[in-house]
Amino acid sequence: MPYDRFLRGIDHFLRRNAEPRTTTLIQQQPATYWPCMLIWWQDKKTRDWKYFVLHPGAALSLSPSAVFLPLAKNNRCGLLAEDDKVMVNGVRALPFRILVDRDQISVGDERLYFSVETPIEPAVFPQQDKKVFCGRCKGELTTGERVVVCSCGTAHHDTDKLPCWKKFARCSNPQCKRPVAGFAWQPAQGS
């Protein structure tokens, strides 16, 4: 298959997958949410790791020879590579590769990491068809309250009166390892 036809196929695939999804735990009406992914990169001056948010359906060019193709389904991201200098975990990424959490991407001397962990941000709780309860205090969440929904899907109060999200160091879901501040994983400093 000619390369330009392959690129048109990827473009068509991205357009099909660029539809927003609604949460299953919390039905946001009429608003929707976009799952997102992160690309971690290291600042050459400070050596600190910083992240860039990838949004489904919005391709991001890493270089003339590498393009990230975030997909709307299941926090998936493709990497389209044009030359053999693009590596994923030390292996050539030609011509297309689906990334998984914590993959290391190298293009020449640049090193990046892909992560499916979503940044946590407080939001206003939308009206619901059914009752939803806080994962920490088990109290009902009400329309208009400030809440945080962890990347695992567990909702928590985040008000001055009920600081359930910030009450302990981690999410209330026992299977979740997400800290309330920062990320469960990021590249090691100085690496």
Of 10-14, 95-99, 132-136, 145-149, the poorest mean pLDDT is in: 10-14
Q: Residue 66: beta bridge partners?
A: 63, 81
Question: Per the structure block, which two tokens stand in for 179?
Answer: 């800290």
Q: Start-end ranges of CATH 3.30.40.10 in the chain? A: 121-184
pLDDT category at 27 given cuts 50, 70, 90 is very low
For the chain, give the percent of residues with pLDDT over 90.
Answer: 31
pLDDT category at 3 given cuts 50, 70, 90 is very low
For range 102-128, the mean pLDDT: 87
- With H, G, I as helix, E, B as strand and everything else as coil, classify residue 131: coil
For the chain, give the percent of residues with pLDDT over 70.
Answer: 78
Sign of CA dihedral 78, 79, 81, 87: negative
Q: Start-end ranges of CATH 2.60.200.20 in the chain? A: 3-115
pLDDT above 50: residue 32: no
Higher pLDDT, 136 or 30: 136
Q: Which of 31, 40, 53, 56 is nearest to 128 (CA)?
A: 31
| Range 3-115 classified under CATH 2.60.200.20 | yes
pLDDT of residue 172: 93
CA atoms within 13 A on the CB side of 84: 0
Q: What is the pTM of this model?
A: 0.68
- Distance CA(37)–CA(114), nearest Å, equals 8
pLDDT above 80: residue 115: yes
pLDDT of residue 137: 95
CATH architecture of 121-184: 2-Layer Sandwich (3.30)
pLDDT of residue 26: 37
For range 16-35, the mean pLDDT: 39
The answer to whether 147 and 122 have CB atoms below 8 angstroms apart is: yes
